[in-house]
Structure 1
Amino acid sequence: MSPIFEKVKLHSKENLPFVIYRKPNSRTIIGVFQVNDHLYFSENFKEEAFIFSSFLGDKPIVFPIEHSEVKFAAPHLVDGNDEKNLQTKTNEAEREKFISLVQSGINAINEGTFRKVVLSRVEAVDVPNFDIEVVFERMLQHYSTAFCYCWYHPKIGMWMGATPERLLQAKEKSFNTMSLAGTQTFQGNDVVSWKNKEREEQEFVTSFIVENLKNQASDVQLSTPYTTRAGNLLHIRTDIEGTLNEDSNLKNVIDILHPTPAVCGLPKNIARDFILKNEGYDREFYSGFLGELNLNINTNEHETDLYVNLRCMKVGDKVAQIYVGGGITKDSNPEAEWEETVNKTKTMKRIL
């Protein structure tokens, strides 16, 4: 067992908070180990800390660096299961429930309530022999381009994920973010065709980000939309960068971006109300955000690097709750949306 996982096991045994994570395309695992079990919350995003925020964004939890030990390690990559052979069983009751939820969303769009809504579900998977080291290193093996993490607080629980989506990276006044939407299963070729529904969904996200940042930033530049791969899934992505205005700050920008139309909908507040009323469960930290706040822990520079909490699960006593969702527009097909969530569950099922 590597020293960083010895520290993880010790912290777990002593019921102390920690997070271990690896940034996209990095060869370094970073561990932040809080030295007490206090729940610290961010009020203004000015702390140097690792931050973990819920979908609703209220009272984001931070592990302050001043109250934590930091450790580094290189990943020991293990052989994972062959993703092509992964089989899943359909729960007909859950399938019908989700299809009905999606149809309700489509109906609301057709009635003019909103233009897009992101609807999700949670699926329980038995994990009788869960081993945090094996599961985390298998995650690193399969998802080299994702932000991979395991986060634990004794008063909250354990969360793990491999998210492909950055919410915000900011250094001094420069920032970059991304617009990510649309999903296809990877079939061995990154050159694919996208339907109008998927292109429109991604354009909603891009337009929202650019429009809402115009009063906070200048010199905003966009890449051409392109296909990007995250594990066994493909998405449409646009890179967005710019310079924050002198009177802008990190909290303003995060409040604008979170939750984005990629995890909530458009208009944001109306879509969020529909989600809270109709999904039938508490998302908790699914589709929230997490990452380094005001400190690049590897380089010790003043930098923020935050990711949307997608492709994630909450790990309990011998059971893992896997969270998945998809963007719904007027052109959505409820059956196809169900299949998209099934494909997304494979991200976490593969590493379990």
Structure 2
Amino acid sequence: MKIFNNIKEWQKTNKPFVAYKKPNSTIIQSYFQNDDGVNTSDNFEESGFIFAPFDSNESSIIFSNNNSIYLEESFKHSDFEFDATPLYFNTNESSKQEHLELVSDGIKAIKKGDFKKVVLSRKETIDLSEINIIEIFQRLIYLYSTAMVYVWHHPKIGTWMGATPETLLQVNNDNFSTMSLAGTQLYKGTVDVDWKSKEIEEQQFVTDYILEKLLPHTTKIISSELRTIKAGNLLHLQTKIEGIHKGNIKKLINSLHPTPAVCGLPKEISKDFITKNENYHRKFYTGFLGELNVNKTTNLFVNLRCMEIHKNSANLFIGGGITIDSIPEKEWQETVSKTSTMKKVL
């Protein structure tokens, strides 16, 4: 494919690029920037591909239509079939105690009344003999057809890849849609499963928060019934939210990001707890990415199930929502389950 040839060429010349496949699509889209400049967006009025960090005080990177070559090509799902038998990677047990203590501190803060929910995460590094980002990208496409799959590179920032199931925001003229997503359990052959009160409560927190924050920027807003969705080998609870907005995309984005599904409730207090206690920098993990103002449409996704590539190692990022009913050991096991999404393709 011409896109893959371009990726190889842009890697050799060390210039920025992104290639991606939207959920349920059989088209790979891409932007290849003409130079190695770092172009940022503060007002979200530009047109192109946006890559934004978790911390909204940090700059969002834009590959603009004015400074990039855009390519798209169709593919067949079978084109990327591979032996999906995963290699076995030892879980970094040395980080287990640190994560258990982090979760315990979060539960204590909730019981004190500091916040209702906080999303706490950890980073796990996988060392490999070599990394071929095109092969990993193809494997992600094959395994996660319902996800937003991408490979993003900027020589001055880094290389990121992922397969995220969560929409942050879709806008088509005056119409918008988003979702609340929470709760996690392993897929075992059916989506007809029981959810515990902890997951249902967590999902309701997220839905209520999004509706409250969006209301001032909309003229109409409705939410769907709660349902279970499959994302890779995991199941989540989802509620769809849609309506008509008042015309300011920046206000829509700022009201949503970061969502309670990746940060907590209330947002600013839980975000402050994360910054002070996680002991690592999330960078673009739990940020957002996607098309911004392209042909009067915007398609943004939360950067979950992702990894940062550095030479021959991959940094995996894994988190979970903590509420008053959380049990630290179970929260640790949930992060271990979630790492399998990325480990399958390495």
Q: Give the TM-score normalised by structure 2.
A: 0.97
Tell me the residue number matched to 1:98: 99
Tell me the residue number matched to 2:302: 308
5 Å-filtered alignment, 1:149-188, equals 149-188=150-189
Residues 1:14 and 2:16 aligned together: no
Aligned residues: CA RMSD: 1.2
5 Å-filtered alignment, 1:1-352, equals 2-57=1-56, 58-75=58-75, 77-82=79-84, 87-245=88-246, 248-295=247-294, 301-352=295-346
The Cα shift of 1:120 comes to: 0.3
| Contact 1:18/1:151 (<8 A) preserved | yes
Q: How many residues are matched?
A: 343
Classify 1:12/1:24 alpha carbon distance in 2 versus 1 (closer, same or farther; 3 Å).
same
Cα distance in 2 between the residues matched to 1:86 and 1:133: 18
The Cα shift of 1:59 comes to: 1.4
1:78 counterpart letter in structure 2? F
The Cα shift of 1:86 comes to: 6.1
Q: Name the SS of the counterpart of 1:243 in structure 2.
A: strand
Q: Name the SS of the counterpart of 1:234 in structure 2.
A: strand
Q: Name the SS of the counterpart of 1:9 in structure 2.
A: helix
| Contact 1:19/1:152 (<8 A) preserved | yes
Classify 1:97/1:67 alpha carbon distance in 2 versus 1 (closer, same or farther; 3 Å).
same
Tell me the residue number matched to 1:298: none
| Contact 1:80/1:351 (<8 A) preserved | no
Q: Name the SS of the counterpart of 2:80 in structure 1.
A: coil
Q: Name the SS of the counterpart of 2:326 in structure 1.
A: coil
| Contact 2:131/2:311 (<8 A) preserved | no
| Contact 1:116/1:265 (<8 A) preserved | yes
String of CA shifts for 1:271-306, please: whole Å, max 9, x gaps: 0000000000000000000000000xxxxx210000
Cα distance in 2 between the residues matched to 1:63 and 1:92: 38
Classify 1:86/1:226 alpha carbon distance in 2 versus 1 (closer, same or farther; 3 Å).
farther
Q: Name the SS of the counterpart of 2:344 in structure 1.
A: helix
String of CA shifts for 1:162-187, please: whole Å, max 9, x gaps: 00000000111110000000000001
The Cα shift of 1:90 comes to: 3.3
Cα distance in 2 between the residues matched to 1:10 and 1:193: 49
Classify 1:37/1:90 alpha carbon distance in 2 versus 1 (closer, same or farther; 3 Å).
closer
Percent identity, please. Answer: 50
Cα distance in 2 between the residues matched to 1:127 and 1:250: 41
1:147 counterpart letter in structure 2? M
String of CA shifts for 1:305-338, please: whole Å, max 9, x gaps: 0000000000011000001100000011111111
The Cα shift of 1:126 comes to: 1.3
Cα distance in 2 between the residues matched to 1:275 and 1:250: 26
Cα distance in 1 between the residues matched to 2:151 and 2:166: 16
The Cα shift of 1:131 comes to: 1.2
Cα distance in 2 between the residues matched to 1:7 and 1:348: 24
Q: Give the TM-score normalised by structure 1.
A: 0.95
| Contact 1:80/1:142 (<8 A) preserved | no
Cα distance in 2 between the residues matched to 1:205 and 1:15: 40
- Which residues of structure 2 form unaligned runs of 5+? none
String of CA shifts for 1:186-211, please: whole Å, max 9, x gaps: 01111000000000111111000001
The Cα shift of 1:87 comes to: 4.3
The Cα shift of 1:132 comes to: 1.6
